Amino acid sequence: MELYLNHISKVYDTKTAVDDVTLKLGPGIYGLLGANGAGKTTLMRIICDIQQATGGRVEYDHEDITGLGEEYRNVLGYLPQHFGYYPDFTAYKFMLYLASLKGLSKGYAKEKSLQLLEEVGLMEVRNKKIKTFSGGMLQRLGIAQALLNDPLVMVLDEPTVGLDPKERVKFRNMISSLSSDKIVIFSTHIVSDIEYIADQILVMKSGRIMHQGRPEEITKEVEGKVWECRVQGKEVDRYVAEYNVGNLKHEGSDTVLRIVSDEKPMEEAIQVAPTLEDLYLYYFEEAGEEQ
């Protein structure tokens, strides 16, 4: 099983949202990491054949997905950032409705819907109307519907938005357990969501894939650029304004800063091992890219 993105580009008027992306993806979890506006959602919509690329093509097992049509959609599970739902439907009825659209048999649809509602923690509210759900509950319902047809290709666009920390851990564990025979593409700007479960990290900026590799591999890009500095309280604001500060911890009258910088920020600065979060800060120092 292989998903091949062959020189994918997408241009809107004068803005390039996706810029010549080429990737070969086999079974595993791929964390698509980037700031808001980096092109993640556009790329994922192209992968799902919802949006047409300006250039290039997406192939599933060596066939163009636009030609595969329904055959491709049958193996696809998609959770958009904002998924549509009928507010007066109950969670269970909504799942059964989507199962019918996916062509699942009635008996299987009932069994699978209840199983997934249990897994995402919505079993007790399965007969409540969706309009009464919180944002986190809606997101969990979205995750459940993406898994209905036991997809071989899962495309999840910011799937943990609205989930509390406990729910996010549970979701990550669920995705990790499913990944052995699926291609899972998981976009986020929350580093911790993918740091421990992604087989490969794809760093996307300004429509391009800047780096691809295992978390421990791509953090080598910022080796020698992460520093720990101890400063007096009155100096903190100056360092925060001048440098890319990833963490700040008070220790008595001093403040310990974790700084990502090409140059040593002070003589007493200590070089420390980089993390994926440091890599993110290095590439997305600007506070969010242009939408």
pLDDT band at 3, cuts 50/70/90?
very high
Tell me: do 188 and 125 sit in the same domain.
Answer: yes
Q: Is the pLDDT of residue 289 over 50?
A: no
Share of the chain above pLDDT 70, in %: 97
Instruction: Dump pLDDT digits (tens) for 176-214.
Output: 877 678 999 999 888 888 888 899 999 999 999 998 999
Specify the range with the lowest mean pLDDT, choosing from 11-15, 38-42, 158-162: 158-162
Mean pLDDT of the residues in the chain: 90
Specify the range with the lowest mean pLDDT, choosing from 61-65, 83-87, 262-266: 83-87
User: Does 288 map to a domain?
Assistant: no
Tell me: do 101 and 76 sit in the same domain.
Answer: yes
Pairing of strands 63-64, 55-60: antiparallel
CA dist 175 and 146 (Å) reads 11
Are the beta carbons of 171 and 160 closer than 8 angstroms?
A: yes
pTM of the model: 0.85
CATH number for position 86: 3.40.50.300
pLDDT at position 288 is 43
Tell me: do 69 and 102 sit in the same domain.
Answer: yes
Q: Which long-range contacts (CB under 8 A, 24 or more apart) does 115-123 make?
A: 116/144, 116/145, 116/147, 116/148, 117/91, 117/92, 117/144, 119/144, 119/174, 120/144, 120/171, 120/174, 121/167, 121/170, 122/91
User: Does 281 map to a domain?
Assistant: no
User: Does 289 map to a domain?
Assistant: no
pLDDT band at 287, cuts 50/70/90?
very low
Instruction: Dump pLDDT digits (tens) for 67-114.
Output: 998 899 999 999 998 888 899 999 999 999 999 988 899 999 999 999
Tell me: do 100 and 186 sit in the same domain.
Answer: yes
CA dist 64 and 270 (Å) reads 51
CA dist 183 and 76 (Å) reads 10
pLDDT at position 286 is 52
pLDDT at position 194 is 85
Number of structural domains in the chain? 2
Tell me: do 204 and 236 sit in the same domain.
Answer: no
Q: Which domain holds residue 241?
A: 224-272
Specify the range with the lowest mean pLDDT, choosing from 5-9, 140-144, 171-175: 171-175
pLDDT band at 291, cuts 50/70/90?
very low
Q: How many alpha carbons lie under 13 Å from residue 165 in its C-beta half-sphere?
A: 1
Tell me: do 169 and 262 sit in the same domain.
Answer: no
pLDDT band at 246, cuts 50/70/90?
confident
Tell me: do 248 and 186 sit in the same domain.
Answer: no
| Total Cβ atoms within 10 A of residue 147 | 19
Tell me: do 108 and 235 sit in the same domain.
Answer: no
Tell me: do 83 and 166 sit in the same domain.
Answer: yes
Instruction: Dump pLDDT digits (tens) for 125-156.
Output: 999 999 999 888 898 899 899 999 999 999 99
Tell me: do 246 and 204 sit in the same domain.
Answer: no
User: Does 291 map to a domain?
Assistant: no
Tell me: do 209 and 65 sit in the same domain.
Answer: yes
Select the more confidently predicted residue: 50 or 287: 50
First-to-last alpha carbon distance for the chain, in angstroms, is 34
User: Does 180 map to a domain?
Assistant: yes
Tell me: do 178 and 43 sit in the same domain.
Answer: yes
Are the beta carbons of 9 and 18 closer than 8 angstroms?
A: yes
